[in-house]
Structure 1
Amino acid sequence: MTQVLAIDQGTTSSRAIIFDRDMRPKATAQREFTQHFPASGWVEHDVDEIWDSVLHTCREALARGGDVAAIGITNQRETVVLWDRETGEAVHRAIVWQDRRTAELCARLKTDGHEPMVQEKTGLLLDPYFSGTKLAWLLDNVDGARTRAEAGTLAFGTIDSFLIWRLTNGARHVTDATNAARTLLYNIRDGQWDEDILRLLNIPAGILPEVLDSGADFGETAVFGGTIPILGVAGDQQAATVGQACFEPGMLKSTYGTGCFALLNTGDALVQSKNRMLSTIAYQFDGKPTYALEGSIFIAGAVVQWLRDGLKIIEAAPDSADLAATADETQSLYLVPAFTGLGAPYWDPDARGAIYGLTRNSGPAEIAKAALESVGFQTRDLLEAMMADYPGDTGTVRVDGGMTASDWTMQFLSDILGAPVDRPEVLETTALGAAWIAGNRAGIYPDRTEFAATWALERTFTPQMDDATRDVRYSGWKDAVARTLSDHG
């Protein structure tokens, strides 16, 4: 057997993709699941619905694609699950990475002066985005959870850990270093759960999973018939970094899914950001982490979903670019999509979305254009902060994710960055990264050097906007953001 099954468990859907011996997608299945919004700024998922979606898509892909030698898992990061070790049942819906319910706790911890210590150890900032404060909320707010956790009957994990638990029928409670690095609980310098932060958040160490390399033996599953080893795990953005073959320091990838996440490989150097970027683990093999700077945008593709499901001005996501292309060029609208706060480099959980520059002539086309442009503007925010932390030429940005299928959006991205944007032939880079990690571990896929040589370009977008226009447009964006920040006045 020379094929690999990649489980890509995302924020809005689960996908299963079988990659053949040449690392090309052979069979794909996808299923969306429900987004729950129980209060303003709260986002939850039903973990049983996620589990059912994973089972369904894997079985469908296997039925069409044939047997596989290994499984690789990539997952939405930071989303928190707390479950019973005996039954495998979650004690509460999963609290999703977008959820902002712990904003007050994070603000209090900052006020008390804990953020420098947390950033030094984890590379992260005190923001509701990360898993740690979400887990603390579950322990404090779910009836009996803390008592059960301290008694050792509950287990915590991000989605990868929960899926492995169920796939192995409770035999393995594990995660990988890239997912652990996003919890706010893991010391990325020492490579272990941090006792000081666990004490700070009052989290018992006994509920935490064992942390392994990204390529490791995560256990075996018999759920799909026969026995298949799980040999690769990486958080979705790290998996995309691998899938884009960004193995050399200075290489940059930007993924456009529900959110947008840019990772800049910094190699052996753990760069402590002075510009509100995150330091994280890009991947870890043979016990050795490779580090990265990351910028996180909470709303990218989700703004297109809002155009479709909220405003109902488009019927399908691809329609957004066609609509934007008809916009009145004399209008200058700015949409700041702070629907669940603003991520890097602002880190303002209390900000909310706004549109500036509306006139009587503004309509669906102008709003669609502003929505798509917001993704390019936010990406420039990230790159400017990264380049300040890790000086060098912006170079070429490798992109992937659903939004990159839009030529209009990618052209604007290149224009506003003033840099080339490379779109690969294989857009499923997140799943490809997970598949390569597992396939390499299984001995059927090549080493890093040979894998990087297989990376193939589909199209390069080059800047068409002049410098003066670029500066004016970006200045207008910065003004719109300043007006949107919760402490602007």
Structure 2
Amino acid sequence: MSIVLACDLGGTSFRAALVDEIGAIYAQRAIAGPMSRDDRSGSSEIDAEAWWALLIEACSGLAADEPALFDAVEAIAICGVTRTQIFLDRDGRLLCPAMTWKDTRSDALAARLRQKLDPAHPESAAINAFHPLARLAWLREEEPELFDKLACLLEPKDYLNLRLTGQRASDRVSMARLLAAVAPHGGRDLLAVAGISGAILPEMLEPWEQVGPIQPGLPAPLDRLVGKPVFCASNDTWAAVVGLGAMREGNAYNISGTTEVLGVVGNEPARAEGLLTVDWRGLFQLGGPSQTGADTVSWLLALLGRDGADVGQEIDALLAGPRHSQPLLFLPYLQGERVPYWDPSLRGALIGLNRQHGPTDLAYAVLEGVACLNRVVLDRAEAAIGSAATEIRFGGGAAANPVWSQIKADLCGRPVVVAASKEPGLLGAAIVAFTGLGRFASLAQAQEALVTVARQFEPVPARKPAYEALFALFRRAEAALAPISRDLAAAAQESGPLAGLARHASALATLHAD
């Protein structure tokens, strides 16, 4: 029996498992955190050392659960959250905390940068607060002393690979946006225009290529794996798509964890407004990450005071209640939005509330609101590609909820297929490791061998008229409220006219106390 160590560094948790060559998990650990430090300035940071501590903790748990299997590990592959930058000096030391996928401090600078860049460059229009080039430019402008020491830029899983092997490397999927900015157009690349050297990029590998062997001198239990190969892998979305069996032409995928990612996979590159086109090493994806997802359900449960128990049980209980005949509309932009709007100032909204609405109506509105956003992305991707997706492979924590799977199928008008693996990211990382070890001739062959389907949800024709009407109202609500969201966000800034309301609230509270 062959065993690999597969890891998935997610937005709010770290998962690790011992997986065999048929995809069976023999031991698994899931550890929460670290939580990002967020503030009103748009800052969102995590100390990368905390991720290294999570890796050691998870491996310690696996080694305690299955000591013989841990010692038999033949290779390691780690997939990880993307749109998060780690800044290193010449000696590989951290210069500052990592900027997470939620960080919006570079929003204003990104707008100025777009005016400076060549509009004909294919990547210029994609420069926004979430783009690595804008964040590098922000660091150069706001933290010049740190920027002058910058020698290498890595993603979170790359940093863990560095700690394991001593080698700085990444892959072309995870670094797609920065590589697109480096690509010359008209004789100059966007990094050069922004005054940033391309030398900060690490070595580029394919996801199934080896970064290096585990180096000696690491803390226990990693010292038991010295010499074992570490494969580059890729971001968590790419790995989860492999683990869902969706890495094939004509498939759509929807990964719903803390946030959602949706896209369509094709043989040729295509472009659509607000969507990302990424070379997935032989295939191309058109879509990208949202700021909303299953975490929106956690927000709702906390709002209703029902966040003390199991999330799945709580949302099931809400959905089992009676629903009002007039549905609510929910705009799910609780943290701004990435795909397809790339606007950190968008805000959420519940529309249509009346006195008879209750928790069940709120629960359905949240699930349908996220599904409506899924359809916006799917419609744009399919229009650009010129054909409809054959199915949507659905994975992540939300895929355990059959009601949400059916809502997505009905609203998007496509079959929703849930894979048997409840951890597609871990399975995708294991597939990378076994492919790198030569157990399979290709990633496609490994995917075919290890991925199985648990359940399929077909669109129900009788529900189509109602959901078409709901989707049309959702789109009208988006268009109407987006300008108000932007004005509200701007007015609440420190210098804005609404900034004092939070301070006034404490003074009003003392009046009540008196």
TM-score calculated relative to the size of structure 1: 0.89
CA distance change for structure 1 residues 435 and 191 in 2, over 3 Å: closer, same or farther? farther
Q: Structure 1 residue 460: deviation in Å? A: 0.8
How many aligned residue pairs are there? 469
Q: State the SS of the aligned residue for 1:248.
A: coil
Partner SS, residue 234 of structure 2? strand
Alignment check: 8 A CA contact 1:231 1:442 kept = no
> Which of residues 335, 339, 342 in structure 2 aligns to 1:344?
339
Of the structure 1 ranges 377-386 and 308-317, higher mean CA displacement relative to structure 2 is found in 308-317
CA distance in structure 2 between the aligned counterparts of 1:486 and 1:201, rounded to whole angstroms: 30
> Match for 1:99 among 103, 111, 119?
103
Q: Per-residue displacement from partner, 1:273-297 (whole Å, max 9, x unpaired)?
A: 1332110022x3xxxx432212322
- 2:182 aligned with 1:177: no
Note if contact 2:8-2:15 (Cα within 8 Å) is conserved in structure 1. yes
Question: Cα distance, 1:189 vs. partner?
Answer: 10
CA contact (8 A) 1:5 1:19 kept: yes
Counterpart position of 1:75: 80
Q: Could you tell me how far apart the structure 2 residues matched to 1:362 and 1:61 are?
A: 47
Match of 2:367 among 346, 362, 372: 372
Q: What residue is the counterpart of 2:244 in the other structure?
A: 244
1:374/1:70 Cα in 2 relative to 1: closer, same or farther (>3 Å)?
Answer: same
Give a deviation string over 1:313-334, Cα, whole Å, max 9, x none.
3433211232133252323212
Q: CA deviation at 1:114?
A: 4.2
**Which secondary structure state, in structure 2, belongs to the residue aligned with residue 178 of structure 1?**
coil
Q: In 2, distance between residues paired with 1:103 and 1:325? A: 42
Deviations 1:13-50 (A, max 9, x none): 11111111211222111111122112254322121222
Alpha-carbon deviation of 1:424? Answer: 0.9
- The Cα shift of 1:393 comes to 2.5
Distance, in Å, in 2 between the alignment partners of 1:408 and 1:84 is: 48
Relative to 1, partners in 2 of residues 1:460 and 1:189: Cα closer, same or farther, differing over 3 Å?
A: farther
Q: Distance in 1 between matches of 2:77 and 2:303?
A: 34
Question: Is the Cα contact below 8 Å between 1:83 and 1:90 reproduced in 2?
Answer: yes
SS in 1 for 2:88: strand
Residue-by-residue CA offset, 1:182-213 (whole Å, 9 max, x unaligned): xx320399699x96121133222232211111
CA RMSD of aligned residues (A): 2.5
Contact 1:321 1:369 in 2 (8 A): no
SS of 2:16's partner is: strand
The SS at the match of 1:403 is helix
Q: Is the 8 A contact 1:99 1:340 kept in 2?
A: no
Residue correspondence of structure 1 range 106-145 to structure 2 within 5 A: 106-112=110-116, 114=118, 116-119=120-123, 125-142=126-143, 144-145=145-146
* 8 Å Cα contact 1:422-1:457 kept in structure 2: yes
Secondary structure in 1 aligned to 2:126?
A: coil
The TM-score with structure 2 as length reference comes to 0.85
Deviations 1:76-126 (A, max 9, x none): 01101112343x442222111122221112222334464551438xxx712
Structure with the greater alpha carbon radius of gyration: 2
Paired residues of 1:2 and 1:444 also in contact (CA < 8 A): no
3-state SS of paired residue (1:44): strand
**Contiguous gaps of at least 5 residues in structure 2:** 488-514
Q: What is the CA–CA distance in structure 1 between the aligned matches of 2:298 and 2:170, rounded to whole Å?
A: 31
| Structure 1 residues 412 and 325: alpha-carbon distance in aligned structure 2, compared to 1, 3 A threshold | farther
**Residue 215 of structure 1, CA deviation:** 1.0
When you count helix as a share of all residues, which structure comes out higher?
Answer: 2
Q: State the distance in 2 between where 1:251 and 1:81 align.
A: 32
SS at match of 1:14: strand
Q: Is 36-45 or 97-106 further displaced after alignment?
A: 36-45
- Per the alignment, do residues 261 and 116 of structure 1 end up closer, same or farther by CA in structure 2, a change over 3 Å counting? farther
Which ranges of structure 1 fall in alignment gaps of 5 or more residues? none
In structure 2, do the counterparts of structure 1 residues 247 and 196 end up closer, same or farther at CA, with 3 Å as the change threshold?
same
> In the alignment, is residue 276 of structure 1 matched against residue 277 of structure 2?
no
Give 1:405-424 correspondences, 5 Å limit: 405-424=400-419
1:479 partner amino acid: R
CA apart distance, 1:425: 0.8
Change (3 A) 1:487 1:276: farther
- Structure 2 CA distance for partners of 1:115 and 1:27, relative to 1, 3 Å: farther
Pairing partner for 2:286 from 293, 310, 321: 293
Which position in structure 2 is the counterpart of 1:260?
260
Q: CA deviation at 1:136?
A: 2.5
- 1:207 corresponding residue in structure 2: 200
Does the Cα contact within 8 Å between 1:345 and 1:385 map onto a contact in 2? Answer: no
Match of 1:382, SS state, is helix
Identity, in percent, stands at 26
